[in-house]
Each structure stands twice: as C-alpha cells, then as structure tokens.
Structure 1
Amino acid sequence: MEFTEWIRGRTDDQLRALVSARPELITPVPAHLEGLAARAASPSAIGRVLDRLDRFTLAVVETLAVQDGPVTKAALRGLIGKALAAGRPEPALSTALDRLRDLALVFGPDNALDLGPGVRKVLEEPAGLGPKAVDVFRHHPPEQLDEMADDIVPGSDGPGKERLAAVLACPEALVAAVSPEARGALDQLVWGPPTGRVPNARREVRVASARSPIEELLARGLLAATGEESVTLPREVGLHLRGGRVHRDLLAVPPALSGAARDRELADRTAAGQAFSFVRSVEELGERWSVDPPGVLRTGGLGVRDMKRTATELDLPEWVAALVVEVAHAAGLIAAGGGVDGEWLPTSGYDLWRVRATADRWVTLASTWLHMDRVPGLVGERDDRDRPLNALHTDLRRASAPGI
C-alpha cells in the first residue's frame, strides 16, 4: 500500500487527530489529501514530530528505519523484545504503533508495517548505526572496491561494491578473522556514534599488506573511509556486533521516579526566591547595558567576551547569564539598536516592565520562557561547521523548543 493511498483511507476522525497533533501540516491548508501526504513527508515536518516522541516510541521508529522494507508486527515485537532490559514489549508496543499511525510516521496493516516516506532520510544514524554498506562505500573508486572484494571473496563475479555489500550482509567470518586489537576498535563504535577519526583514512591497503588494527578493518571493509581523517562502521557490521539488537537496555515503560521527598512550603519558598533573583538579574542586566551596551556581532548575536563579562557583572554562571539574556530579549526588554554598528540596549518595553510589580514582572519572564523558540542551553556549544553558538544569534532558534 502506498502512503498517499493510506492517507486517503483514513477516517475523518483519524485525519482530525493527525492535523491536531501536527498543526504545521495545515498551515496553509492543503488543497487535497495528496498535498497533506506530501507535506507530512517533508523533512522539516518529520523533524518536528520526531522531536516530540518519547524514547520508547522513537526506538520503535528507529527499529523500523533499519529494516529493508515493511515488517510484520510479530517481527517488530521480537526485535524490540531483544533490546528490552526487563519486561515484555506489550502493551507498550501497540500503544506506540497506534500513536505513530495517528502521527502518520508509520503506516500499513500489522502484517506490513513501514515508515512514512522521508522518515528514514531524516534519521541519518538511527539508534547510532551508520549507513548501509552500499551507501558508505558510494564514493570509493570502483577499482579499489574490486580489489577489496577480490581479497575477501575471491572468485566471485560482479561489481566490487555489490560483492562487498553481499559479504558484509553476513560479516561473521570477516570479524572473526581480525586481531583482538582490531576487534577492540570495532567495539568502540558498536553502540554509536558509528564514526571515528583516523589519520590518512583513505590510504590504499590490502588484506595481505595490513600492518595495524585499523588497516585490518579498512582492508576487509569492516570500516569505510568517509573522509581524509574519518571512518564509519557500516550498518550491517554494527547490527552483527550488537547481536541482532537495534538498541541496548531499552525500557518499555518510564522508570519510576526516585528521590527525596521535599516539603511543599519549603519548595514554594525556594522557588519564589529563585524567581525574585531572576527578576533582579534581568533588572541589573538592563541597567548595566543602558550604561555600557555590548556591540552586536557582524553576524548577529552577542560576542563571547561580552557574554563572559556580563556573567561576571551579574555574578552568575555563564549558562545562567545566557538564559537571563535570552529571556530578556525574547520578552522584548532588550534589542539591537544604537546606529550603524549596533549595540544591545534596553527597549522602551523594559522601562514599562521595570515599574510593574515584581510578581507581574516574573509572570512576563516565565511566560516568555515557556513559549520562546530559542534554546539558551546551546550557547557556548559549536555548530556542525565547528563555529561557536553565540547568545542572541538566530542559530539558537529551534521550532520544537516551545513544545519541549
């Protein structure tokens, strides 16, 4: 059954549940069900809904993602059962599948369950597993793949990539042939991430000439060079080393809450004290920046030095100071201004906020934090291009933040 056909077969109540859970699918309203199906398969829409899944339900999606096609519910139950640390997969599995169908992430009957289009592509490393062999060796020269295949499956016919993929589908003999040191290197990548750094990863090496554990693995295709200094564990090898399990120590139900009980009145007083301290920190931020405003970076945001200085002046850890700055900005209390170069300055909204009662000021800040689409906790981290993530920069926006 095709995904679009499955969408057409949903009842009015089921479609209502879908768009209620994923309102971005009807903004704007699609002209027909084919348009709804296409929008449900877009990477951005899939990413948003995956971010809202609990760990077990996401594990069900990841387990389906590493299958080559539709599977039966019984087979899926067996795969999930292997990964459980304790207990049985039901009724949690049925509940998760019902929810995934409601979200249009999984479709089809119980004897042919599959992921919706686009989901596998969004899950680049499901459960910490690398790409399949046919994908991970995609950019290797054909002659190099022919040599590798001749070494590990001598006498076989066909293109090297296909012969290599065929033998890696059952890599037990290849794994058994390597040294304990090479097996130890594989074990470091088994549960993810499936990539590692190795100098001169693209070196030419044959099974007979391998002199190091890494060369043993490269020559047999148990590791693939995916960059000048990076290697990746093919998915088939990872699954074999995991003993056929997709996940490790999976829980079908959330663990019981544990911890010391606290007196409610004490908790309320402590929370009120923290709320008052946060309001005072925002006030102090506004007063200090009105006198000595930091500059706006050319790329936007607040410079690392200015962030450190602000944390010192507010006498706060840097991550707390970043939260203060981000919430104040999201609440409209500070903004970029001050001419050509730009400075971060208090706004007229700050002046109005400043004269209100403390409780009202706190409500404004707390409500802003609940609904803001920015993630202050990322300040100081680095993006996928190894650039620092600065406070007040647009790179901190995450569409899923309010829901989380």
Structure 2
Amino acid sequence: MVELAERLGRAASVALVLPLLPRPVLQTTEALAALGTPVPVRAVAKLLGAEADRGPLASVLRTLADHALVWPLPDGRLRMASALHQWWRAPLGLEARLGPLLSDKSSDELRKILETLGRPLGKTKQDRFDQILEHHRDASAVRALVDAAPGDVRTLLYGHAERASAVGPAGSTRYADERWATDRALLVRRHYGSRTSMPAEVTLALRGPDWRAPFDPLPPRPDLHRLTVAEVEGEAAAMAAELTGHAAALLAECARRPPVLLRTGGVGPRELARLGKAAQCPEPVARLVLACAYASGLLAREGETLPVTAAYDVWAAQEPAERLVRLLRAWWTLGRTPTHTHDPAGRPLPALETAPPAAEAVLTRHALLTAAARLPVTHGLRDPAALGRLIGWHRPLAVEHPRDATPFAALVREAELFGVVARGALSPLGAALHEHGPGGSAGSADSGGALADSARRLLPSAVDHARIGADLTAVVPGVPSARLAAVLDSVAVREARGTASVWRFSADSVRGALDGGSDERAITEELTAVAEGELPQPLRYLIRDTARRHGHVRVAHAGSVIHGVQPALLAEIASHRKLARLGIRALTPSVLLSGMPLEETLTALRAEGYAPVGEEADGTVHAERVERPRAGTAKAPALPRPRGPRTGPAVRTDRAPVPDLAALAAGLLAAPDDPLDGTPYLNRTEETLAERCPPHLSRGELRRLTRALDAERPVTIEYAADDGRTVTHTLSDPFLDPPDLLGRCPGELSERAFALDRIRSVVPD
C-alpha cells in the first residue's frame, strides 16, 4: 500500500491522468492549488461559484477521488496530491504568497516598506515582517491603498490582477510606476534585474470579494439538428464502403508494384501521386490507408520498398466488414494523424513519416469519440467541424495542429472517412469502437464481437456477380469480392471505384487475358460464372475476334542463328542429346533459330498492330504472368513505442485488458506485513536496511531495494557523492554488506561500495 501510494502521488502518474480529464475537473484542481490544501469544501465551492454538497462540483470531486488526485480528510477538508500542486505554476494567475517573496529582504528594506505604508516600524526584522503581512491580509486596506495611487499605477496594478499573468521584466512598464508599487510591497522584485511579482494576497484583494474562478461544468452547446438513425447509418455506410473500396484498390496496386521509399523514410509525394492515380484514390485517403495498413501488418518495409505481406492475401479475401475492422483497429491506436500533409513548421510530410508516434494523437482521437458520444442520441451537429471545438472541453490538454483550419479538422475528417462519425453524430460503428475498441471506455480490446457485428450491419457482404451490359461495361453495385475483382481485372480495365465499380472491356484488355495464358473458352466460362444472366452478344464477338487474331505471329526465344550447307549435320546438332540444354530448334532443314530477345521482339511487333504470342524455347506458348511480390514475413511490423504527453512519461497505446481493480484493492488491503499498521518486518534484509539507511527513505523505497537484493536484479539509486552532488547509479548484481551496498556499475569490471547512509532515494523500476 505504501508503494502504491508513492506511485500514485508521483508527478509522472499525475501527468498520465491529467490529459484524460475534462475542463471542469482541471478547473477545480487549479482552484484547489490556488487555495492551498487542506481546504474546506465550502471554500472551494465559494471560489468556483458552485454548490458544495451536490451538483457538478460534487461529481467533479468524486472523479478526482477516483483518480487519487484529491480526497477528503476525516475532518471533511480536501487534500490534493502534492505532485498536482507542482502542475500549476501560478494557479488562477496567483503568484507566490507575500511571505516567501519577502523572506530574502533585509530588515532595513522591510523598514522602508513600513515607512511608506505608514505602519509601526517594529524593533526586530520579524516584527517588521509580521506588520507587512498583517497589512496585506486586509483586502479592504490593500484596495484603499491602490485606489489612492496615481492613475497610471492604479491601471498597472488592476490590469495585472485581471490578466492573471506576471508583469514583464524591468523596463516593460514605466520605472516610476513600478517603483511606487514596489515601495509598498504591492509588487515585489526578488533581486536586481528580475521581473516583478504580485503577491497572491494583493491579487485576490484587487479582484474583489465577488470574483469567482472559471468553472464550466457543462460542455458548450453547439448548433444541433434532428437526425434519424437511418440517416446516420446510411451516411456512415456510404463512407465506410467507399474507404474500404479505396483501400482494396490502393493495396492491390502496392501488391502489383510496391511503393519505393525515400532515403529518409516514408512515401514521397511523387510515389504517393502514382499510387493515388493508379487506384483512383484521393491523397488524404491514400495517406490514411497506407498508415493503417502498415500498422496492421498488411504492408512491411523491405529494403527501399514497401511490399504487401502474406497477411494481405488473407485480408483481400475477407468480407468488406472484416477488412474495415482491421484498418479501424489500427487507426484507433495510431500514434499520429496521418492525413496531416505538413508539420507545424509548414514543411511537407511524406506518407508513413518516420517521426516517433505521439500518444497525444491517441488521446485526442479518444476524446473526439467521447465528445461525439455525449451528444443527444437524436441530434447531430450542423457543422461537423464543431466536434473539434468540443474536444477542448472534454480534453483541454489536447494539442491542436497549427495547420488545421478549424480545431482538429484533420482528425474529424478521418473519423468521417471511416464512417465513425456521420452527419455530425456518432454512428453505430463509432459507438461500438468507443465502447469496446482498444483503449475505449470498456478498457479492453474488442475480440471481434460488438465492433465486428456493427461493421457487418453497416456494410453488406461482398458482391460476387456483375451486371455486364451490351456497351462492353461491367458494373458491380457495392464492394466486389476478391474472386470477382480478380476475374474482371484480368480481362477488363477498371474505370470507376467507390460505392459502385465499373470495368470496361476492349480488344487490348481481352488480349491481355490471352497473353496471360487464357483462351477464348476459359475467358467466356469465367465471365459467364460471374455475370448476372447471359453474356451480351457484343462481348462474345469481341472475345471471339480477339482470340481469332491472337497468336497468328509467334515470337520465340532466340540468341543466335546456326546455319550451314549440310542439313544432315545441322539435324545431328539439333538432335544431339548433350546439346538439348541449349534449347536448339530447327525452323527449316537448313536453319536453327536462337535470335533476338523475346521481350524486344514482342514489343516491336505489337507496336505495329500485330498480336503476336510469346513462345518458349521448346516451342510451347509463353504465358506472360506478372509475379506479385510479397514481403518475406507475415508478421505485423514492430512499431516504435509512442511518446507520452509532453508533461509526462510514455503512454502505452497498445493497452492490455484492464484487470479487476476492486479485486486488486481488496488484495492490497488484506495483505499482511504492511508497515502502516505497525506489523513487524518479516524480511531480514528489509530490517537491516531500515536500520542502516537514512530515515528520509520511504517504506516503499526500502521494499524496492529489498526486492532487488533478494532477486539479485539491477537497481537504480540516487547517491550523495563526496563533493556533495547527487549522482544516479544503476547497480547490477547488488549485494548487501552492511554498512555498504555493493554493486557493479555499467562498463565497470569491479564492484563498488556505496554507503547505505548516503543513499538519497531508490528510483522506481
């Protein structure tokens, strides 16, 4: 329990939880920091202008207690975690109290202040100090003093109190005005050249007894309009289907021709434009799909290219809902906003940028769905961009991107592309993601239940039949199945994608299928199997005419020509068993052909309008099949560990399921050998450390060091060196040899001894 309390009270723990709290909770902690704890609840309520025992403030205080940030004492006062005090440097714009500001002043300086104020001078420095404090604690006396000041000084002081910010360095205001205020301790300069500070007592006095700290218990009310569930689902289904179709086309292009990476990492604008043009996919969608596909293991870096993995083949054969869910899971935990095209400095960003992912992106994404989930069920926002402004209330510490036209515009657009948000409201898919997705409010990863079911209800099954018309087009209303897309791609050219896909047949596209090894009968049977009804007569004629002309001219592999005047000798060479590996073939009794390369001959003849067919060295037809490269492993890529919020350590975005916290708490409370209840130490090592180590080490630190010694595992300590500095050492194979702690530092062969009584702290694991 001691160690748990230490960990919860640490600044790193506070920094992890604050980005998850809404604005009224943070406003309450700022008010508590300004008042100083412990403090009565009624004092906090008065400062915030709220009711003490019920209403929003009571709910906020429960939230703070649940997060071990603020808790009530037995006498009813509130105490705040000490690390939370450090978070607010000047809570509510209040700087240091007058006492600390005057603590360095000499007795003569205090006497001059009292003379200016017209107060009794006192005999000792302490008397003078107390006289000044007593005067400034009287708010009416401070206001009367300021009201009697010259006009410019009065404006300066009241403006400072209202702005709730520090006065700038010397020279930023008129020297005479500042001098008037500093002579009366209304502003205090600690040392020459430093900026002046207004004591907290003066600031509160000038703000007046009716001043209240900011407190916004309710989120801002945006402009709403009434929606039906069918309208939201229809819009979400259309967007999700379009994104799934774009993803299938883009990754199919990556399978055909893997993108080339920049030397500095990522996919450059030229390669991104090629992918978008080939897949008929807008650039923001291409960036989003590439990032999610890489994070989910469908793409992998291999040298300077980005080929698909074997997992892509499984993904491409799945239903549209399953494809969408895999990409959506990756987006939910993605450590960046991939549709940002420029960094904060305005420099262009490649797709799949190599910068370390940031946990702020994950937290902001979760905040977006939290804000959307708080909207009325039957209403949506008239302007979906207002969702970004709601994030500022639900997650005030979320960082906006300076390149966004409206707050979090890129993030809102990504949610719309996935169908998570539709028409300014949370879709059923978004609700399932928020409730059951990794890191959602349920706290555990959805195992394919609610999220997958919602996606299946939203997206219909893949279409496995096409409507082939007499105009030589094939139309697929919906997402085509992998088999249907493969058949149509082999014999036609896709012209349109999205909610409906269109292919067009031509002589060149049919010839491409024939070049791949098919014949007229095979092509006709494959198209008949996927067509709704009979094949149109114009398409049958096109296939028949193209197949009839196909192969009239044949081109064989050749490297040289062997000829002579003795046909019998040439026949002997052609039939010689040991020369069979050369693939020599007689064209006529007097000619053996092995001429120009096959590719050059085929290209030249086709450029003139012929339809030649390639031929192998043994005389068989050469089928021109395109090899589809695959990455060497199907394992998902190892993503860099994301950085934590700017105010704290790393935050994990791939959270494990949250355990039963109530059971853990019960176990901690029932555990024996708790120093808090006076039970004697049962561990001899811990007993020895308690006797030898300095008294300022906490019980948690002693136990941490005990566990490291008993398990012989590394431990990090802060140690007082001979010169008085505090140095951090990490010791491997620690050993207790009272009064010393022995261990080996990194890079050192021999052990070193550290006196137990000079250990300042034991750093947590």
TM-score range for the pair, normalised by the shorter chain length: 0.5 to 0.7
Shift in Å at residue 357 of structure 1?
Answer: 2.8
Aligned twin of 2:64: 100
Displacement of 1:270 after TM fit? Answer: 1.0
Measure the CA separation in 2 of the matches of 1:284 and 1:236.
66
Cα deviation per residue 1:11-68 (whole Å; 9 max; x = unaligned)?
A: xxxxxxxxxxxxxxxxxxxxxx000000101222212222333332332222212122
Structure having the larger proportion of residues in helix: 1
CA contact (8 A) 1:381 1:388 kept: yes
Letter matched to residue 96 of structure 1:
V
Given the superposition, is the C-alpha separation of residues 275 and 61 from structure 1 closer, same or farther in structure 2, using an over 3 Å criterion?
A: same
State the match for 1:315 in structure 2: 282
Match of 2:160 in 1: 186
Q: Does 1:338 align with 2:303?
A: yes
C-alpha contact (below 8 Å) 2:42/2:52 kept by paired residues: no
Q: Residue 274 of structure 1 aligns to which amino acid in structure 2?
A: M
Asked whether the 8 Å contact 1:354–1:361 carries over to 2, the reply is: yes
Q: Counterpart of 2:65 in structure 1: which amino acid? A: R
- Greater strand content: 2
Aligned to 1:366: 328
Distance 2:307 2:80 in 1: 49
- Gaps of at least 5 residues in structure 1 are 1-32
- Contact 1:328–1:365 (CA<8 Å) still a contact in 2? yes
Q: Deviations over 1:218-255 (max 9, x none)?
A: 998759899x999987766665565464633x344556
Work out which of the residue numbers 251, 261, 264 in structure 2 matches 1:293: 261
Counterpart of 2:12? 44
| DSSP 3-state at the match of 1:394 | coil
Offset of residue 377 of structure 1: 8.5
Q: 2:84 aligns to what? A: 119
2:20–2:363 Cα contact (<8 Å) kept: yes
Structure 1 residues 6-17: aligned runs within 5 Å: none
Give the Cα separation in 2 of the matches to 1:135 and 1:330. 55
Q: Distance in 1 between matches of 2:13 and 2:332?
A: 22
1:396 aligns with 2:358: yes
Q: How far 1:94 moved relative to its partner? A: 2.5
Instruction: Report whether the alignment pairs 1:132 with 2:82.
Output: no
Does residue 273 (structure 1) correspond to residue 238 (structure 2)? The answer is: yes
TM-score between both structures, scaled by the size of structure 2: 0.35
CA distance in 1 between partners of 2:273 and 2:114 (Å):
60
Is the 1:307–1:322 Cα contact (8 Å) retained in structure 2? no
Match of 1:356 among 293, 318, 321: 318
The CA deviation at 1:359 is 1.8
Deviations 1:73-127 (A, max 9, x none): 222222222xx5xx88723322332332232211223532110231111344545
Q: Deviations over 1:117-175 (max 9, x none)?
A: 31111344545x3643679979xxx799x98996798487869xx89x95887664676
Structure 2 Cα separation of the partners of residues 62 and 135 of structure 1: 21
Paired residue type of 1:91? G
Task: Give distance in 1, aligned partners of 2:194 and 2:297.
Answer: 45
* CA deviations over 1:259-289 (Å, ceiling 9, x no partner): 1111322211211122233334545665479
Contact 2:259–2:271 (CA<8 Å) still a contact in 1?
A: no
The secondary structure found in structure 1 opposite 2:163 is: coil
Q: In the alignment, which residue of structure 2 is the partner of 1:78?
A: 46
1:327 maps to a residue whose letter is C
Distance 1:307 1:183 in 2: 60
Q: Distance in 2 between matches of 1:152 and 1:278?
A: 74
Distance change in 2, residues 1:150/1:357 (3 Å):
farther
* In 2: Cα distance, 1:381 partner to 1:234 partner: 41
Distance 2:174 2:181 in 1: 10
Change (3 A) 1:247 1:203: same
The change in CA–CA distance for 1:71 and 1:88 in structure 2 (over 3 A counts) is: closer
Aligned letter for 1:266? E
Higher RCO (CA < 8 A, seq sep 6+): 1
**Is this contact kept in 2: 1:77–1:93, CA < 8 A?**
yes
User: What residue is the counterpart of 1:68 in the other structure?
Assistant: 36
Counterpart Cα distance in 1 of 2:347 and 2:194: 22
**In 1, Cα distance between equivalents of 2:36 and 2:232:** 51
Call closer, same or farther: CA 1:347–1:264 in 2, change over 3 Å. same
> Identity, % of aligned pairs?
22
Contact 1:106 1:115 in 2 (8 A): yes
- How many residues of Structure 1 are paired with residues of Structure 2 in the alignment? 338
Distance 1:233 1:322 in 2: 51
C-alpha separation in 2, matches of 1:118 and 1:58: 14
1:247 aligns with 2:213: yes
Please state if 1:91 is matched with 2:55.
Answer: yes
* TM-score of the superposed pair, with normalisation by structure 1: 0.60
Distance 2:358 2:26 in 1: 24
